[in-house]
Amino acid sequence: MSLPFDLVSDTNRVCAERLAQILKNPGFVDYFSDHMAHATWTKTEGWTDSRIENYHALQMPPGTAVFHYGQEIFEGMKVYRHSDGSIWLFRPEMNARRFNRSAIRMDLPELPEEDFLTSVHRLSRIDEAWVPSGQEMSYYLRPFMFANDEFLGVKSASRVSYLVIGGPAAPYLADGLTPVDIWVTTQYSRTGDAGTGAAKCGGNYAGALIAQREGADHGCSQVLFTDAATHTWIEELGGMNFCVVTRDNTLITPPTSGTILEGITRDSILTLAPDLGLTVDVRPLSAKELFSKALDGEIREAFACGTAAAVTPIGRLLYSENNQVKTVPLPQPLGEATRTLRNALVDIQWGRAEDTHGWLSEVRQSS
């Protein structure tokens, strides 16, 4: 039986003046919208108790399992408002499937795809006033699930909460077009062979924060990780996938074989690339090859991609070798391929280009 996610409480809407003020300068989800979706899973009853209700603080005893062992997964997706006022999700079924792959890896219960989709559609529809219409602005949705038993034994949850919250978002990294510097760490790993790298779980992010600090100490806004076993192979950033473009217009990105998260933006870009004159080559790329080919001009462009920032051009790669910081500038920090791919993607998302792949899912028609 599918979950209805009916609206059960609606007594807390922000006033129009305040909302207009928030939407002018929302940051990246500095504010949350009026409602949230909620469902509960128990070992004996399965999924029950679905609802949309006022956004509110949760009350949980300190002994709640998630606080101690981090059995938790999440998703990140956006709702886009087109110029005719209609609002749309981008490939939400991909998020639903990935949520379940993450659930399986973290030994959490799967949520039927249909229920995931109902929850994000209903919340976006109910809080549609929160979907901004400004340039590159969106409403960011955060579905998540966590162990909600009260016990300290190390065992999988028999009671789980699923929630969806959301809020308006300006572009994640400045204007999204200014090239950023990236710290390539060989000191820390995000994940390892047979680890949780392919799952969207909080622990992966918590474990990456120290590397991010190391990067920030060197003026870098993001960190690029190499494989844990040998620190030879380029994997991905803390929350974005990584691609380069060569002089002969080949787009290279490492394969997502267990340690790298299967980004929906990455998948979309690999699908769009051939139509834009790029050859796609999914293959392992060593840090050594990356640095030497960027230096001799064979690799021309590099970018990071993910839902939050779409496509982020990379200006320079920094790394440490024998206690010295080396800098590798990309020959074309915001090159033609990066720009063309970015535009092709965001133009579909914001309804400025035809959705030939059928990636958009309508939340609300134009009025």
Ligand X SMILES: *Cc1c(COP(=O)(O)O)cnc(C)c1O
The DSSP annotation for 202-258 comes to HHHHHHHHHHHHHHHHTT-SEEEEE-TTTS-BEEEESSSEEEEEETT-EEEE---SS
Q: Which residues of 27-39 are buried (b: 16+ CB within 10 A; e: fewer)?
A: eebebbbbbbbbb
Q: Does 89 bind ligand X (CB under 6 A)?
A: no
Smaller CB separation from ligand X, 200 or 293: 200
Answer whether 284's CB lies under 8 Å from 233's CB.
Answer: yes
The rounded Cα 281 to chain-centroid distance in angstroms is 23
Binding piece for ligand X, criterion CB under 6 A, among 5-13, 138-146, 154-162, 238-246: 238-246
Smaller CB separation from ligand X, 64 or 119: 119
Smaller CB separation from ligand X, 184 or 240: 240
* Among the listed residues 26, 167, 263, 351, the single contact to ligand X using CB under 6 A: 263
Q: Does 264 bind ligand X (CB under 6 A)?
A: yes
Smaller CB separation from ligand X, 166 or 306: 306
CB of 351 to ligand X, least distance (A): 19
Answer whether 11's CB lies under 8 Å from 56's CB.
Answer: no
Task: Return d(Cα 202, Cα 131) in angstroms, integer.
Answer: 26
Q: Does 176 bind ligand X (CB under 6 A)?
A: no
Smaller CB separation from ligand X, 154 or 194: 194
* Among the listed residues 81, 122, 200, 293, the single contact to ligand X using CB under 6 A: 200
Of 259, 251, 346, nearest to 308 by C-alpha is 346
Smaller CB separation from ligand X, 53 or 238: 238
* Among the listed residues 92, 168, 254, 306, the single contact to ligand X using CB under 6 A: 306
Q: Does 241 bind ligand X (CB under 6 A)?
A: yes
CB of 236 to ligand X, least distance (A): 5
Task: Return d(Cα 78, Cα 92) in angstroms, integer.
Answer: 9
Number of residues engaging ligand X in binding (CB under 6 A): 13
Binding piece for ligand X, criterion CB under 6 A, among 16-24, 157-165, 262-270, 288-296: 262-270
Of 126, 103, 101, nearest to 51 by C-alpha is 126
Length of the chain: 367
The DSSP annotation for 104-157 comes to HHTT-----HHHHHHHHHHHHHHTGGGS--STT-EEEEEEEEEE--B--SSS--
Q: Does 299 bind ligand X (CB under 6 A)?
A: no
* Among the listed residues 261, 272, 337, 341, the single contact to ligand X using CB under 6 A: 261
* Among the listed residues 226, 259, 265, 349, the single contact to ligand X using CB under 6 A: 265
Answer whether 294's CB lies under 8 Å from 317's CB.
Answer: yes
Task: Return d(Cα 342, Cα 223) in angstroms, integer.
Answer: 21
Site residues for ligand X, window 267-286 (CB under 6 A)? none
* Among the listed residues 33, 161, 307, 349, the single contact to ligand X using CB under 6 A: 307
CB of 240 to ligand X, least distance (A): 5
Q: Does 313 bind ligand X (CB under 6 A)?
A: no
Q: Does 143 bind ligand X (CB under 6 A)?
A: no
CB of 7 to ligand X, least distance (A): 28
Interacting residue ranges for ligand X, rule: CB under 6 A: 76, 200, 236, 239-241, 261, 263-266, 306-307
